[in-house]
């Protein structure tokens, strides 16, 4: 059956590509297997692996720099143990980091120059010196991500890419533009502009606000990360975490800082889309947006809260009154379903009120990939059932907040139009899927495969 192409309202295109270049070493049973896996990535400018565990190795010894030197001594190689607290690197990377036998140890960690093993805080000696992304890395990530998105039936995205890597934002803009001009990427991108204040001023002075870089690529709203996550207990809460009673989480900005940034963006005609997960942060963002909206000279706006996870009904009503939208990720329940009760206690009834929001404000769906898989049918399944794909034995999280198929499709297409600054769906952006979707059968919807994807009428993906 034919469907409109999906619009994902918030993700990280570069991150999606980057994740595919990291080597997964978690199933490696030997050092030889690891070195073979790393060799497959020798066309990259840096090789990063994760997940190894020496207890599984048939060689019965620790992997060391000599093993990695044999893979390459011209490309930096960094592989991190499954626990995340130990890494091994090659001589080339240690040379880049300026490490020799004489380098003093770091407090809170240690390293061994002769084996290339770094533990705990000594790992920062390597992490801080990792080479900056090159243009060819960016190209590589974009091409990989473009393929993944089209394969999943996504034809447009709003993407936050300036903040993920330590790289000049203009290099990203110019590289994307070139790839579009060469037709090496086709998915349409609206950039959610995530820059620190000094760089934002530079961006505005150079006339980038709302700029159309290419017919498929434009600059969108200001993006701000205003708190952390529930999993990490860094989302900022009005009441402390149930399982950590002295912890209220962390707000990333003061009210004044947020206001200054959002007001400045507004003066240049840019909306703000703000990551807020805890109820203290969503309240903070709503209050400041109310002020920005009231003072604005603009008649219309498309401000939104991204995530809006613990956003109680009283806050939703304020969003409705001020026409503040939401860009949400039902698929987050996939992982969160296990921790919500312990983190929040009774407040679990105030989390993921996405259907309530959908009925009152402009709510669009997204995945925040690569944080969660980009597959829209997984996301729709979660929205329709409020169940986890990872933990299928856990009951529906909140049956009152489940979406119908029709509403899910609306949240994934029409409702996201305002977040990619389009007035209507493009008839040339559509997909062919392998089945007719049955609104009463979320399981069959979840397993849908995309057969073909079209952008502006051009076939850009076809299943093998
Ligand atoms: Zn994100």
Query: How remote is the CA of residue 12 from the centroid of ligand 1, in Å?
Result: 6
pLDDT along the chain (464 residues), means of 10: 98 94 93 97 90 91 96 96 90 96 91 94 90 90 98 98 89 98 98 96 98 98 93 92 93 95 98 97 98 95 97 97 98 90 91 97 96 94 96 91 98 98 98 98 98 98 94
**How many CA atoms within 13 Å lie on the side-chain side of 48?**
14
pTM assigned to the model: 0.90
CA of 60 to the centre of ligand 1 (A): 40
Centroid of ligand 1 to alpha carbon of 327 (angstroms) = 11
Q: Which residue has 């090496």 as its token pair?
A: 184
Q: How far is the CA of 291 from the centre of ligand 1 (A)?
A: 25
Q: What domains sit in the chain, N to C, each tagged with a CATH number?
A: 46-127 (3.10.310.70), 135-462 (3.20.20.140)
Report how far ligand 1's centroid is from the alpha carbon of 69 (Å): 35
Q: Which of 256, 243, 251 is nearest to 277 (CA)?
A: 251
What is the structure's pLDDT at 285? 98
How remote is the CA of residue 65 from the centroid of ligand 1, in Å?
Answer: 34
The predicted pLDDT at position 306 comes to: 98
In the prediction, which pLDDT does 85 show? 83
For residue 10, the CA-to-ligand 1 centroid distance in Å is: 6
Task: Report yes or no: 415 and 390 within 8 Å, Cβ to Cβ.
Answer: no
Closest CA to 27 of 59, 50, 61: 50
Closest C-alpha among 52, 56, 55, 117 to residue 88: 117
**Could you tell me the distance, in angstroms and rounded to a whole number, from the CA of residue 55 to the centre of ligand 1?**
35
Distance from residue 252's CA to the centre of ligand 1 (Å) = 15
152 CA to middle of ligand 1, Å?
Answer: 19
Separation of CA 332 and ligand 1 centre (Å): 12
State the pLDDT at residue 388. 94
Q: Is 187 exposed, middle or buried (0-12, 13-18, 19+ CB in 10 A)?
A: buried
């Amino acid at each position: 059956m034919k469907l409109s192409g999906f619009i994902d309202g918030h993700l990280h295109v570069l991150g999606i590509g980057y994740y595919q270049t990291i080597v997964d070493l978690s199933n490696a049973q030997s050092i030889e297997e690891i070195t073979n896996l790393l060799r497959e990535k020798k066309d990259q400018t840096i090789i990063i692996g994760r997940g190894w565990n020496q207890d599984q190795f048939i060689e019965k010894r620790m992997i060391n720099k000599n093993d990695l030197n044999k893979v390459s001594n011209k490309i930096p190689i960094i592989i991190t143990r499954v626990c995340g607290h130990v890494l091994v690197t090659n001589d080339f990377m240690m040379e880049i980091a300026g490490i020799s036998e004489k380098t003093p140890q770091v407090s809170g960690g240690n390293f061994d120059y002769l084996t290339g093993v770094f533990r705990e805080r000594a790992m920062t000696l390597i992490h801080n010196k990792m080479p900056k992304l090159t243009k060819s890395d960016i190209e590589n990530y974009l091409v990989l991500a473009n393929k993944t998105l089209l394969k999943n039936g996504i034809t447009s995205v709003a993407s936050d890419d300036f903040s993920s890597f330590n790289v000049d934002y203009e290099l990203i803009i110019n590289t994307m533009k070139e790839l579009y001009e060469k037709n090496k990427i086709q998915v349409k991108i609206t950039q959610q502009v995530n820059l620190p204040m000094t760089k934002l001023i530079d961006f505005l002075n150079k006339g980038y606000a709302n700029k159309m870089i290419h017919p498929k690529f434009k600059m969108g709203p200001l993006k701000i990360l205003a708190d952390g996550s529930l999993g990490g207990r860094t989302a900022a809460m009005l009441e402390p975490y149930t399982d950590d009673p002295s912890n209220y989480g962390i707000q990333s900005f003061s009210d004044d800082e947020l206001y200054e940034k959002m007001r400045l963006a507004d003066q240049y005609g840019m909306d703000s889309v703000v990551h807020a997960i805890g109820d203290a942060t969503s309240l903070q963002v709503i209050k400041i947006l109310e002020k920005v909206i009231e003072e604005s000279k603009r008649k219309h706006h498309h401000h939104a809260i991204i995530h809006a996870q613990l956003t109680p009904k009283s806050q939703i009503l304020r969003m409705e009154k001020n026409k503040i939208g939401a860009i949400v990720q039902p698929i987050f329940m996939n992982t969160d379903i296990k921790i919500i009760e312990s983190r929040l206690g009774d407040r679990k009834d105030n989390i993921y009120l996405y259907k309530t929001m959908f009925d009152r404000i402009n709510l669009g769906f997204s995945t925040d990939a690569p944080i969660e898989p980009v597959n829209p049918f997984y996301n729709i399944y979660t929205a329709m059932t409020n169940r986890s794909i990872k933990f299928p034995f856990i009951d529906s999280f909140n049956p009152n907040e489940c979406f119908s198929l029709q509403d899910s499709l609306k949240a994934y297409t029409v409702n996201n139009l305002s977040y990619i600054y389009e007035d209507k769906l493009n008839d040339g952006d559509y997909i062919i899927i392998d089945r007719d979707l049955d609104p009463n059968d979320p399981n069959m919807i979840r397993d849908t495969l995309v057969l073909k994807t079209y952008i502006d009428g051009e076939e850009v993906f076809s299943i093998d």
